[in-house]
Amino acid sequence: MPELPEVETMVRGVRPYMEGRTLSQLRRYPCRRKPLSCKPDFTRIARRVKGRIVREVTRTAKRIVIQFVAPGAEAEQLFEYLVIEPRMTGLLLVDDPPSREHLRFEFVFASAGSKETRPNVSYWDRRGLGTVTLYTQTEFDQFLQSGRLGPDALAIEHAELYEKLQRTSRPIKVALLDQKLVAGIGNLYASEILYLAKIHPETPANRVPRGLMKPLQLAIRDVLETAILYEGSTLGDGTYRNVLNQDGSYQNEHRVYQKGGTLCTGCGRIPIERIVQAQRSTFFCSRCQKKYE
Ligand SMILES: [Zn+2]
């Protein structure tokens, strides 16, 4: 958490407040908590982006990508990319934060005359595990080509998914969390996806029949796109909020996640089970989801 749907919700949420605006300052809040990991250090980042224009805000896997350009410079080598990975508890906000003490920094925009009423954008992080990296164009290209991130979960095709899953005998649930294999899926949505695709989470990835690749790919897309429509999932700890500091609502649509012991709504016959795989909880129905050996 936040996974792809939550990060995509943040990106869509901040876009109207960031794109086309000139950053007058990247201001650090006096936060006494664990400092964020920044590369280069925060002061250098702030110096480099000051006075730049936000050209575009996009998402790569579970990261927010803010593309900056110098005024009047559209040549590609002059782009810089501020990449924020919210990890466990990071949020971008345009409204009051859940708490002031965990505010980390603020994008302060130049006001284009007195008509500008849009608020600034803040980054909030309770646990402070998020990371902030500023890349030049060359560095950003290298990052994308480094193989650290596989194809985006919303874009991967079933043939490619099959080819990727063939390479590993780890359980399918664990393989789906591997960002090098497919980028953007986290623990919560992996359980939901496998339930929808009717595949048992302990099935070795390379044993999932080829004929199930299309249903699996459609399940990935269906679960993630629906979760984006619902603006993500706010779990019991209440940490995840949209940019207006409101709950997401996909948690009300979960079919298996955190539903251990409750009757499966698919078959209506047995309760949802919980197991632990690679130190993470997995939820599934052993009647609805078939295990392939
Ligand atoms: Zn069932």
Same-domain status, 127 and 164: no
Q: Is the residue at 152 inside a domain? A: no
Same-domain status, 33 and 130: yes
CA pair distance 166, 39, nearest whole angstrom: 35
Query: Which pLDDT band, with edges at 50, 70 and 90, does 72 fall under?
Result: confident
Same-domain status, 100 and 233: no
Q: Which candidate in 2, 5, 86, 171 is catalytic?
A: 2
Contact criterion met (CB below 8 Å) for 83 and 63: yes
Q: Which of 145, 173, 200 is the last residue of a domain?
A: 145
Same-domain status, 259 and 167: yes
Q: Which of 95, 115, 145 is the last residue of a domain?
A: 145
The predicted-structure confidence for 31-53, as pLDDT tens digits, reads as follows 888 889 999 999 999 999 999 99
Structural domain that includes position 184: 158-284
Question: Cα of 71 to ligand 1 centre, how many Å?
Answer: 57
| Catalytic status, residue 3 | yes
Average pLDDT over residues 12-27: 96
Average pLDDT over residues 191-216: 98
The predicted-structure confidence for 118-135, as pLDDT tens digits, reads as follows 899 999 999 999 999 999
Instruction: Look at residue 68 and tell me whether its pLDDT is greater than 60.
Output: yes
Q: Is the residue at 75 inside a domain? A: yes
List the CATH number of the domain containing 171: 1.10.8.50
Same-domain status, 112 and 197: no
Sheet containing 53-60: order of strands: 37-39, 131-136, 80-85, 63-69, 53-60
Instruction: Look at residue 114 and tell me whether its pLDDT is greater than 70.
Output: no
Question: Cα of 195 to ligand 1 centre, how many Å?
Answer: 9
Question: Cα of 112 to ligand 1 centre, how many Å?
Answer: 57
Mean pLDDT of the chain: 94
Query: Which pLDDT band, with edges at 50, 70 and 90, does 75 fall under?
Result: low
CA pair distance 252, 100, nearest whole angstrom: 28
Q: What is the pLDDT of residue 117?
A: 82
Listed range (69-83, 187-201, 234-248) with the worst mean pLDDT: 69-83
Q: What is the pLDDT of residue 257?
A: 97
The predicted-structure confidence for 212-235, as pLDDT tens digits, reads as follows 999 999 999 999 999 999 999 999
Q: Is the residue at 73 inside a domain? A: yes
Q: What is the pLDDT of residue 76?
A: 57
| Catalytic status, residue 207 | no
The predicted-structure confidence for 142-171, as pLDDT tens digits, reads as follows 999 998 999 999 999 999 999 999 999 999
Q: What is the pLDDT of residue 238?
A: 74
Q: What is the pLDDT of residue 239?
A: 87
| Percentage of the chain modeled with pLDDT above 90 | 88
Instruction: Look at residue 111 and tell me whether its pLDDT is greater than 60.
Output: yes
Q: Is the residue at 191 inside a domain? A: yes
Question: Cα of 32 to ligand 1 centre, how many Å?
Answer: 47
Q: Which candidate in 55, 280, 287, 290 is catalytic?
A: 280
Q: Is the residue at 233 inside a domain? A: yes
Phi then psi for 185, rounded to 5 degrees?
-85, 135
Number of domains in the chain: 2
Same-domain status, 198 and 226: yes
Question: Cα of 255 to ligand 1 centre, how many Å?
Answer: 10
Q: Which candidate in 52, 59, 62, 241 is catalytic?
A: 62
Question: Cα of 239 to ligand 1 centre, how many Å?
Answer: 30
Question: Cα of 268 to ligand 1 centre, how many Å?
Answer: 6
Same-domain status, 167 and 112: no
Q: What is the pLDDT of residue 225?
A: 97
Is this prediction's pTM over 0.75?
Answer: yes
Q: Is the residue at 289 inside a domain? A: no
Q: What is the pLDDT of residue 23?
A: 97
Q: Is the residue at 173 inside a domain? A: yes
Instruction: Look at residue 113 and tell me whether its pLDDT is greater than 80.
Output: no
| Catalytic status, residue 62 | yes
The predicted-structure confidence for 247-267, as pLDDT tens digits, reads as follows 999 999 999 999 999 999 999
Give me the long-range contacts of 253-262 (CB less than 8 A, separation at least 24): 253/226, 253/227, 254/188, 254/192, 255/192, 255/195, 255/196, 256/191, 256/192, 256/195, 256/283, 256/284, 256/285, 257/188, 257/191, 257/192, 257/233, 257/283, 258/283, 259/283
| Percentage of the chain modeled with pLDDT above 70 | 97
CA pair distance 27, 92, nearest whole angstrom: 14
